[in-house]
Amino acid sequence: MSTFLTRAVGRVRSLLPARADFAVMARNPRRDLLAGLTVAIVALPLALGFGVSSGLGAEAGLATAVVAGALAALFGGSNLQVSGPTGAMTVVLVPIVAQYGPGGVLTVGLMAGVLLIALALLKAGRYMRYIPAPVVEGFTLGIACVIGLQQVPNALGVAKPEGDKVLVVTWRAIEEFVRTPNWTAVILAVAVAAVMLLGARWRPTIPFSIVAVIAATLAAQLFHLDAAAPIGDLPSGLPAPSLAFLDLSAVGSLLTPAVAVAALAALESLLSATVADGMTVGQKHDPDKELFGQGIANLAAPLFGGVPATAAIARTAVNVRTGAGSRLAALTHAAVLAVIVFAVAPLVSKIPLAALAGVLLATAIRMVEVGALRAMARATRSDAIVLVLTAVATLALDLVYAVIIGLVVAGALALRAVANQARMDQVDFKADLPGEHSKEEHALLAEHIVAYRIDGPLFFVGAHRFLLELSEVADVRVMILRMSRITTMDATGALVLKDAVEKLNRRGIAVLTSGIRPGQRQALQSVGALDLLQMEGREYATTPEAIAGARAHLHRAGVLPAAPVTEEVSR
């Protein structure tokens, strides 16, 4: 027990920030402070917008950006990561809010934090790298579509209709708009999105999102645009931490949503950290520390009324592009947002919801990288299928199911591709004949002996194809199976081989094998195939030895004269 506790304490210590993590902050603090300020300006409208979209309000988005942003930066495994409310997480939260209410979302965030810390302790971070690129691209495309559709009610200036399916809600919002059009909201949303998209092409370094939001807010105030509904009152500060939302009786029913939130937080955070590493030289994140940091952040954010958080790829990219080199930039981003919460909450409350919808519409459009999608779709047919299926599942179902479906389909297609590489060819055994032999004897041997060489994997995906091929062999007395080139064999492959040998034996065809490897031997032994192959000494180390055994078998059957003495036996 003491050994277990010692290991557990040591594991936790390995996940905590080290002195080197803080020493990096002193290298170029001015550059990090400037990067953090820039990211905060970009993050403000996104935090407000995602808070509103989640159903918990703008104040929840700000609380998440401040609390989770600071703690994830402090305890995370990347020097460049910026965390807070994100569009992907909002997509998951909307149905949770509809079913369980705001308290359910806060409880889910708390539970997700515990799960993320558990994943970090179990060293699960390394396994995220095995997610195929088509799944990630399809996932991102689906998220972009869902985020865009979620903004339709606010962009059209109508109250959000009932429902937890984004397609249904969007259709109902359009119907409501047709009945009572609100062109003011539409113009503001389109204008903000257009300024962001066109401005980014003209001057990528200028944060046009905040410029567009300020302009839209001023226009709404100066021209008394009552049809442009504002965010509404915001608290001038963070609430005191509280667990009043926690209902222990509901924890069991919230476990599945919590697993979904934790899985998404892990996936998006590690993907974002990988992207950040690729944009720099010399930076490398620790995946387990990143999961730990996200876990701490999600444990704390609900206490202040914040929604579950994850790393934000777009904000992280801005952070890197503006020169960030340490955690100080992400900490500065959280501190600036905290100042905004305390100092200018009354001004922020006047921002039109349509303007925030425009920000998120532009964000959704910018998430879609047409070049990457086109390249992925053209790579192979399997990649295109996985990409489209993941995107459609994200839109029609939910993000976690979409990733699971994408992984299952990608795995099945990959297994099929591997299985198709396996071959079984009939080979001429003349070169492997040991000892002296005449042309007449070789012709007689070729009449009664057939040799097959199996190349590649022999496992459950394509093993039955070999059973059919072997079972069709006829008009011979001996079959030699050369197995040294089998790369892998599972129980299904061994069982299929056993079935084929039994069928051939019943037809009077003796099956001899050569080159069975130790790994194959274990699989064959597990299903009883090895005993069958070793019957009457029919397993040989090399092909020449197997041919000599085949000649001896034919001699015993009276087909051949006595086999000559072997001068040399080689593989």
DSSP, res 67: I
Task: Identify the burial level of 352 via C-beta atoms within 10 angstroms of its C-beta, where 0-12 means exposed, 13-18 middle and 19 or more buried.
Answer: buried
473-522 pLDDT, tens digit each = 767 888 888 888 888 888 888 888 888 888 888 888 888 888 888 877 77
- Kind and range of the H or E run holding 512: strand 510-514
67, 331 Cβ separation under 8 angstroms: no
Cα separation of 112 and 4, whole Å? 25
φ and ψ of 531, to 5 deg: -60, -40
**Residue 30, phi-psi category: left (phi > 0), alpha (psi -120 to 50), beta (remainder):** alpha
The chain-wide mean pLDDT, for the chain, equals 82
Selection from 151, 146, 500 nearest residue 357 by Cα: 151
Please tell me the predicted confidence (pLDDT) of residue 537. 66
Cα separation of 68 and 85, whole Å? 9
52-101 pLDDT, tens digit each = 888 888 889 999 999 999 999 999 988 989 999 987 788 788 888 888 88
Residue 569 pLDDT class (50, 70, 90 cuts): very low
* Three-state DSSP string of 408-437: HHHHHHHHHHHHHCCEEEEECCHHHCCCCC
102-111 pLDDT, tens digit each = 999 999 999 9
Whether 271 has a pLDDT exceeding 70, the answer reads yes
Residue 194 pLDDT class (50, 70, 90 cuts): very high
Listed in order, strand segments (DSSP E) in 39-163 are 83-84
454-483 pLDDT, tens digit each = 888 877 766 677 667 776 776 788 888 888
Whether 561 has a pLDDT exceeding 70, the answer reads no
Please tell me the predicted confidence (pLDDT) of residue 73. 93
Please tell me the predicted confidence (pLDDT) of residue 536. 61
Please tell me the predicted confidence (pLDDT) of residue 440. 58
Counting DSSP H helices and E strands in the chain, the numbers are: 26, 8
Interhelix angle 133-150/166-179, nearest 10 degrees = 30
Whether 288 has a pLDDT exceeding 60, the answer reads yes
Please tell me the predicted confidence (pLDDT) of residue 331. 94
Higher-pLDDT residue of 180 and 457 is 180
Higher-pLDDT residue of 53 and 333 is 333
| Ranges 93-102, 361-370, 553-562, most confident | 93-102
Higher-pLDDT residue of 463 and 283 is 283
Cα separation of 194 and 192, whole Å? 5
Whether 375 has a pLDDT exceeding 90, the answer reads no
478 token code pair: 């001996």
Residue 159 pLDDT class (50, 70, 90 cuts): confident
Cα separation of 234 and 48, whole Å? 11
* Three-state DSSP string of 447-506: HHEEEEEEEEEECCCCHHHHHHHHHCCCCCCEEEEECCCEEEECHHHHHHHHHHHHHHHH
